[in-house]
């Protein structure tokens, strides 16, 4: 049996897809797997991600290829996948999640605490930009685009003094670089950070049965809680919320943070519940955020993005 896998052409996407291939080969050694690279809007639009008013910019074209039977399934970074998929597609498998932490990379080995005042720090994430500013209001945060290797090169070419990005990408690529791991307390990750998502056709039972064998049940439940929270408060790359769910036995704790656009106001909520009802836990945390005024923060974010777009 031969399977065609849809993926972006970036080095990280290919590395992630090759990892999925190797895991599937372990359980299905006689199968063949071919990767078909597909260009997405996110690959061709050079604007900072937070200025693009569209969900699924890194996955829509690939999932359309799945729906149209051009490929059998697709591998994505889960945080790029919107909760509403194209009709007849499902999120069929979530393998074991990588580390969710963000990391700090500098050319001279300094960390976020010791980097010089006025240092230029690059990030593609509004959430990280605010968290950096909260921690170090004396540095300059600028948007940075490009794949992981390109961002790292820009640091060592002195275009940036440092960058902040997710550890999971560095791990999956096997990049040999020195970094400082940032705490989840100060840098709460985006919902789904560190996880992969495999999308397939709902009616393709044989493929779905195979993909289910590389699913990690705790990762699935934790991410369902984070995505339920995100959906409830309607967050996204234009209104960044940090969320991290962690299972412990039959329980799950969901910790969430949200900030004003200047970083001066913050909301933090942590609640625990049954890990077998992650959607309810996500909604409960979302309700608490709403009570504390998260919608007011969201309005301010949208206004600021509009101002940036006009500059």
176 is catalytic: no
Nearest in space to 194 (alpha carbons), one of 214, 168, 218: 168
Alpha-carbon span 118 to 311, nearest angstrom: 22
Separation of alpha carbons 155 and 66, rounded Å: 37
Give the CA diameter of the chain.
Answer: 58
Handedness of CA 124, 125, 128, 132 (dihedral sign): positive
Whether the Cβ atoms of residue 4 and residue 36 lie closer than 8 Å to each other: yes
User: Residues 53, 63, 72, 80: which is the catalytic one?
Assistant: 80
If one counts every other C-beta atom within 10 angstroms of the C-beta of residue 44, the result is 9
CA dihedral 294, 229, 284, 256 (to 10 degrees): -60
Catalytic residues: 80
């Amino acid at each position: 049996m031969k399977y065609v896998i849809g993926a972006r052409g970036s080095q990280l996407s290919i590395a992630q897809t090759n990892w999925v291939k190797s895991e599937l080969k372990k359980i299905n050694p006689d199968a063949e797997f071919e990767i078909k690279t597909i260009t997405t809007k996110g690959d061709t639009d050079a604007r900072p991600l937070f200025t693009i008013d569209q969900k699924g910019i890194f996955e829509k074209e690939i999932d359309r290829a799945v729906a149209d039977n051009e490929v059998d399934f697709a591998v994505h970074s889960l945080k790029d996948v919107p909760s509403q998929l194209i009709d007849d597609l499902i999120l069929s498998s979530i393998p074991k999640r990588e580390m969710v932490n963000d990391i700090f990379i500098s050319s001279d080995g300094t960390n976020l605490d010791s980097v010089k005042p006025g240092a230029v720090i690059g990030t593609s994430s509004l959430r990280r930009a605010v968290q950096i500013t909260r921690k170090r209001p004396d540095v300059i945060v600028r948007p940075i685009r490009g794949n992981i290797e390109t961002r790292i090169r820009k640091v060592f070419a002195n275009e940036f003094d440092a960058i902040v990005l997710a550890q999971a990408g560095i791990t999956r690529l096997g990049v040999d670089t020195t970094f400082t791991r940032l705490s989840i307390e100060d840098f709460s990750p985006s919902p789904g950070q560190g996880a992969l998502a495999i999308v397939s056709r709902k009616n393709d039972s044989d493929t779905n049965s195979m993909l289910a064998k590389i699913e990690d049940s705790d990762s699935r439940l934790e991410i369902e809680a984070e995505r339920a929270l995100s959906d409830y408060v309607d967050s996204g790359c234009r209104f960044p919320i940090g969320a991290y769910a962690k299972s412990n036995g039959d329980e799950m704790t969901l910790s969430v943070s949200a900030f004003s656009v200047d970083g001066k106001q913050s909301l933090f909520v942590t609640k625990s519940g049954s890990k077998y009802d992650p959607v309810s836990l996500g909604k409960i945390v979302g309700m608490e955020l709403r009570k504390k005024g998260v919608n007011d923060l969201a309005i301010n974010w949208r206004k600021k993005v509009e101002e940036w777009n006009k500059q």
